[in-house]
Each structure stands twice: as structure tokens, then as C-alpha cells.
Amino acid sequence: MPFRINHIHLKAPDPRKTAEWYEKAFAFKIVSDETRVFGDRFIRCLSEDGGMAVNISGARTNEKLGPGDASAHHGIEHFGFDSEDLEADIHRLEGLGARLLEGPIEIPNGPRIAFVKAPDDVRVELIQRRAIAGGSETSSGCGC
């Protein structure tokens, strides 16, 4: 069986508030909201196209969580979303409380990218593919 990413899991002090932000920001669909046996609130979301599951939960009973880190760092550093209009999406996300960290950046022969700080100090990349001659687009490669 080939491996594929099953989900992304975010931790948040207020999982519902965070899930609702991603619902507004990226058209996520909240599919369940429960308290698990671990004592944490656990919200399951799906991307608009249903292709990616994103789980958002709070701390488990007696679990102490460290701070988020939207700066570049080791480990899982960010996740990216395709954008059709980078500037419009930056402006829209800033209106929802995100903060522009970097960009827009022009990648030579590649996409245009930007990084924003989302709720709970999560680093999110926006990727606008560049149209090239013949009507195709540049790869969606990470601008990391």
C-alpha cells in the first residue's frame, strides 16, 4: 500500500475558534466536534475539496503545551495553500487576523509565494503558480 498523508493536526488553546478561522480563511468544513477520552476538545475538519483532513485539538488532561512558532524552525515548519491571487489572499487573511511574515516573493521560473502567521502562531505559505507560455502553470513546489 502506498503511503499518503492522512491528516494535519494542529493544537490550539481554543480549538473551536481556530477551526472557525480556517473555515473562514480556507473554506474548511467542520465535520465533528467532540471531547475525547484524553479530555481534549477535538475538531475534525476537511479541506474544501475533501482531499485533506485537518484535526484541531486543545491540550489533553494534564498535558502542558509549549508555544507555537510561526518563524522558520526545525520539524514541521509550515503548510501551504494554493492561491489564485496572492495579494488578495494576503489582504483577506490579514482582515481575519493573520499577519504577513514574508513576501510576496518571486521565485525565478517558479511560483510567487508569501508566508503568513495564522492563529496559534502557525506558519502558512500561500503559493500562486505562474502561468507560462502555452497555458500551463509552474510547478507548485514549495518556496521553502
Q: Is the peptide bond before 15 cis (omega within 30 degrees of 0)?
A: no
Question: What's the predicted TM-score (pTM) here?
Answer: 0.86
Answer yes or no: is 114 within a domain.
yes
Give me 71's grid cell.
518563524
State pLDDT tens for residues 12-48. Answer: 999 999 999 999 999 999 999 999 999 999 999 999 9
Say what the pLDDT of residue 3 is: 83
User: Which CATH number characterizes residue 41's domain?
Assistant: 3.10.180.10
Count CB-CB contacts under 10 A for residue 90. Answer: 19
Say what the pLDDT of residue 45 is: 97
Say what the pLDDT of residue 4 is: 85
> How many independent structural domains does the chain possess?
2
- Counting as low any pLDDT under 50, the low residues of the chain are none
Q: What are the phi and psi torsion angles at 124 (to 5°)?
A: -125, 135
Say what the pLDDT of residue 135 is: 56
Answer yes or no: is 71 within a domain.
no
Find out whether 85 and 33 touch, Cβ atoms under 8 Å: no
Answer yes or no: is 138 within a domain.
no
Find out whether 117 and 103 touch, Cβ atoms under 8 Å: no
Answer yes or no: is 49 within a domain.
yes
Answer yes or no: is 135 within a domain.
no
Answer yes or no: is 89 within a domain.
yes
Say what the pLDDT of residue 140 is: 53
Give the residue numbers spanning the domain of 104. Answer: 79-128
Say what the pLDDT of residue 130 is: 84
Say what the pLDDT of residue 132 is: 65
Answer yes or no: is 96 within a domain.
yes
